[in-house]
Amino acid sequence: MPPAITIKNLTKIYEPRKGAEKVALDDVSLEIPKGSFFGLLGPNGAGKSTLINIIAGLVNKTSGKVEVCGIDIDKDLRKAKYHLGVVPQELILDPFFTVREALEFHAGYYGIPKSQRKTDEIIKALSLEDKKHTSSRRLSGGMRRRLLIGKALVHNPEVLILDEPTAGVDIELRQSLWEYAKKLNKQGTTIVLTTHYLEEAEQLCDEIAIINHGKIVAHDKKKTLLKKLNNKRIVIHTQKNPEKVPPSLKSYNPVMPDDNTVEIRYNPEEIEICDILKDIHDSGLKITDLVTQDTKLEDIFLQLTKAA
């Protein structure tokens, strides 16, 4: 069984109007397994959108190879697109169609017979039933985002790409979108997610790639990736704002991210937590709360994107 998406030695160079050429993707190779919930992460300008647009056939690559479900986009782009649903960042919709009309017309573009369309099922799944006869220009930003997802699903694609799907979306809608995405993934749909909300990627994704300056700087299972930075954190909340770091804690190089908080990072293979707790006790700080935290995806992301 071929991967959902295969990328080999993909390069994209934008020719300049003035000045030097821009290398958006630099010899990128990547495999996205079928059925995975895959996170594609990176800072602004890292190359995420260029990569997605090439996969979707919206941007021409300079060199390299891209396959969607085993289909080379250079040989049969139309067939490859049939396996792919893309939800873009931009809220671009035809303002003259109602929700139901937009989904029906989009299904027609893919040649899906009316008897096989799942328009009403999609409307219900995305909680758009009370808006199905409303034109898209009258929808809120969150409802428009739901409609975009619905349009990407009308042809029942094997791979769904969500490009910053919760940007500017309220918490309630964000949660409902993720519940639906998880349901699709359990049913076998491969989900590819780009997001700047790293906590979302950490909660949802089972495999993650990080791109920076057009290169893949990390790619692994989420659990394996989190283990690579052997780092834990102790956060101490104090009754009073300490004026300076107590002598017993100086060797840990703690930071004070805000008032009444002292944060210590340590490698559990090198330092015993009981030693740290003893030194915290000896520090004389009036402690109101103390929590330990494992490595977060944000820690990995910042380390790799700063170093690359």
Q: What is the pLDDT of residues 254-280, one digit of tens each?
A: 988 888 899 998 888 788 889 999 998
Out of 3.80.10, 3.30.70, 3.40.91, 3.30.390, which CATH number does the structure's domain 229-307 have? 3.30.70
DSSP string, the chain: ---SEEEEEEEEEEPPSSSS-EEEEEEEEEEE-TT-EEEEE--TTSSHHHHHHHHTTSS--SEEEEEETTEETTT-HHHHHHTEEEE-SS----TTSBHHHHHHHHHHHTT--GGG--HHHHHHHTT-GGGTTSBGGGS-HHHHHHHHHHHHHTT--SEEEEESTTTT--HHHHHHHHHHHHHHHHTT-EEEEE-S-HHHHHHH-SEEEEEETTEEEEEEEHHHHHHHS--EEEEEEESS--SS--GGGGGG--B--STTEEEEEE-TTTS-HHHHHHHHHHTT--EEEEEEE---HHHHHHHHHHH-
Give the residue range(s) of CATH 3.40.50.300 domains in the chain.
Answer: 5-221
Could you give the percent of the chain with pLDDT greater than 70? Answer: 99
Lowest mean pLDDT among 34-38, 169-173, 181-185: 169-173
| pTM confidence score | 0.83
Give the residue range(s) of CATH 3.30.70 domains in the chain.
Answer: 229-307
Q: Does the pLDDT of residue 197 top 90, yes or no?
A: no
What's the pLDDT score for residue 260? 86
Q: Over the chain, what is the mean pLDDT?
A: 90
Q: What is the pLDDT of residues 115-163, one digit of tens each?
A: 999 999 999 888 889 999 999 889 888 888 889 999 999 999 999 999 9
Q: What is the pLDDT of residues 207-262, one digit of tens each?
A: 999 999 999 999 999 988 887 777 788 999 998 888 788 899 999 999 888 888 99
Assigned fold of 5-221: Rossmann fold (3.40.50)
What's the pLDDT score for residue 2? 86
